[in-house]
Structure 1
Amino acid sequence: MRTENPRSELSPRARVALYGLLCVLAIPFVFPTWWMVTSSVKPISDIFAFPPELIPSRFDWSTYAEVFKLQPFAQQYWNSCYIAAIVTVGTMAVSSMAGYAFARIKFPGANLIFMVVLLGLLIPSEVTIVPLFQMFLKWGLVNTHWPLILVPIFGAPSVFATFVMRQFFIALPVELEEAARVDGLSRFGIFFEIALPLAKPALAAVAIFTFLHSWNLYLEPIVFLTTPGNFTLPQALTQYVDVYQGPMWNTQLAAATLTALPVLVVFIFAQRQFIEGLAHTGLKG
């Protein structure tokens, strides 16, 4: 049966009104980003002018040079990049295997174990941060990046990713696995050659929200890291202060703009895969 696209039924006038309404609704989301970017090239005296200037009357590009002069921002940028990359790949590996096991392998207490795993989502990170610090302190890993890698991969972000992958694998037709078994594939062969290639939308969704979570992580870095050279970007943004410990607004906003660029690029190019992945897991609202 042929289905009509609802947008094709709208008249040109209604379509213009709809797009106009969407533009108005987008203002509260777009304006803060626009204000951040434009304020990063304004003198401090112009940042809080009222009414705010949408387009700066004066441009001060020296703030971007100050970002790298006041602290090792390039090293901190690299720290966030490689930590987020490792955490993303590690979480995808752990969550895909765990999600497949919970979805397809029948073993005693599977549902109970899965419910216990999901309880990890209900525990705030602030509750576990002290025991984690004590554990990594005994291991001699404080002021290293290992806590920022291990905790997300085996913590709450990986639990949510496991849930997403489990929901996706449950929706896969059982006949695919039965046909693979007839062809002589083992359990690992079915996972790597059949299930995992079909799970690309779900893996894309997991990769995006894992990358964003690791990139924006703040509590763990301020607990585990003490040396500026080891800082990640969220922690580094708090260090741009003057001699009176007041924020250097234009320099801080310039650093925030550089920090937000990878997030915007990732979401712009991967938003379709993100939405498709959540739709396939039954999480769409």
Structure 2
Amino acid sequence: MNYRLQQKITRICWVVGLAALAIPFVFPFIWMLSGALKGQADVFASASLIPQTIHWSNFSEVFSYQPFARQYFNSLYIAVIVTTLTLFLSSMAGYALARLRFAGSALVLLLLISALMMPEEVTIIPNFFLMRELGLMNTHMPLILLPLFGSQGVMATFLMRQFFLALPKELEEAGRMDGLSRFGVYFKVALPLSKPALSAVGIITFLFSWNLFLEPLVFVNDIKLFTLPLALANFTDTYGLPLWHLQLAATALAVIPMLIVYILAQRQIVESFALSGVKG
């Protein structure tokens, strides 16, 4: 057996093995699409993934049952704002922690990392009283501020710090010799080189904000202000039982932005996690 044939057989075995391992991860997604095209009585009545009758009307009924388009837009614009602000603040904070030496910098980093160990369920009560005192209840501001300055923002800052630590200092010193200020070095040298880390932080932050459930449940009670996680749980009948065909159809629509974001940035997120552990 020549080397080329052996290499081809090895590649085929790898593809078959990885395809088999992917089945448990892909099957729930296929089942969701199948249920989204079935009637309410057929979702659990048959184990077949191919609907006997395709109900395309499920997708239009989703928008007539509640203001789903408005809720979709709520999740979208909140995720975009949170992602944009997190990229801006975490990149600046991460660069400062990686390059600037000031009194208490190690303590600041320790406090930030310790914030990652605090479950959201522990901080939700003081955050509730804080937002109530600020008059921000039943608004989208808590859904923007809490991820930005909470554990998600801390994780983004830590990732950016790790990436900036791995950048050669010689590149920044060359910028300083050209007359750039510290902010100029950050903006014109370090920031353009941090695209892999920014992509990773962006996709993680976007997905975190898109899937946020506890904070909207606590701070929002107007159905027009609901985000998608709350909207999905709101597809129920008069007895409070889930309308599975509508929930699955709405979930299929809600997954689309996440798939787009991940497909566009999957290479950058892998590269960033590989580089984030180079220096500590």
The match for 1:26 among 22, 25, 36 is: 22
Mean Cα displacement is larger for which, 68-77 or 266-275?
Answer: 266-275
Percent sequence identity over matched residues?
A: 53
Pair 73,110 (structure 1): closer, same or farther in 2 beyond 3 Å: same
Trace 1:198-277 onto structure 2 (pairs within 5 A).
198-277=193-272
Q: Compute the RMSD of aligned alpha carbons.
A: 1.5
The match for 1:161 among 156, 174, 184 is: 156
Amino acid at match of 2:34: T
3-state secondary structure, aligned to 1:60: coil
Aligned to 1:280: 275
Amino acid at match of 1:93: F
Q: CA deviation at 1:277?
A: 1.8
Aligned to 1:114: 109
The separation in 1 between residues aligned to 2:229 and 2:88, in whole angstroms, is: 26
Aligned to 2:38: 42
The separation in 1 between residues aligned to 2:6 and 2:32, in whole angstroms, is: 36
CA contact (8 A) 1:80 1:232 kept: yes
3-state secondary structure, aligned to 1:11: helix
Is 1:171 matched up with 2:181?
A: no
Write out per-residue CA displacement over residues 203-233 of structure 1, whole angstroms, 9 at most, x where no aligned residue: 0000000000000000000000000000000
**Where do 5+ consecutive residues of structure 2 fail to align?**
none
The separation in 2 between residues aligned to 1:178 and 1:41, in whole angstroms, is: 60
Write out per-residue CA displacement over residues 94-118 of structure 1, whole angstroms, 9 at most, x where no aligned residue: 1000000000001112112101111
CA contact (8 A) 1:168 1:199 kept: yes
The separation in 2 between residues aligned to 1:209 and 1:29, in whole angstroms, is: 19
* Alignment TM-score, normalising by the size of structure 1: 0.94
Q: CA deviation at 1:57?
A: 2.0
Amino acid at match of 1:38: S
Q: CA deviation at 1:45?
A: 2.6
Aligned to 2:189: 194
3-state secondary structure, aligned to 2:277: coil
Q: CA deviation at 1:44?
A: 2.2
Is 1:76 matched up with 2:54?
A: no
The separation in 2 between residues aligned to 1:179 and 1:17, in whole angstroms, is: 49
The separation in 1 between residues aligned to 2:6 and 2:87, in whole angstroms, is: 42
Pair 116,10 (structure 1): closer, same or farther in 2 beyond 3 Å: farther
Write out per-residue CA displacement over residues 253-285 of structure 1, whole angstroms, 9 at most, x where no aligned residue: 0011111111111111211111112222228xx
Amino acid at match of 1:189: G
The match for 2:141 among 143, 146, 154 is: 146
Amino acid at match of 2:27: F
The separation in 2 between residues aligned to 1:9 and 1:145, in whole angstroms, is: 59
Q: CA deviation at 1:10?
A: 5.3
Amino acid at match of 1:30: V
3-state secondary structure, aligned to 1:239: coil
CA contact (8 A) 1:201 1:280 kept: no
3-state secondary structure, aligned to 1:126: helix
**Where do 5+ consecutive residues of structure 1 fail to align?**
1-7
Amino acid at match of 1:53: S
* Alignment TM-score, normalising by the size of structure 2: 0.95
3-state secondary structure, aligned to 2:116: helix
Count of equivalent residues: 276
Is 1:92 matched up with 2:59?
A: no
The separation in 2 between residues aligned to 1:34 and 1:260, in whole angstroms, is: 12
CA contact (8 A) 1:221 1:235 kept: yes
Is 1:12 matched up with 2:5?
A: no
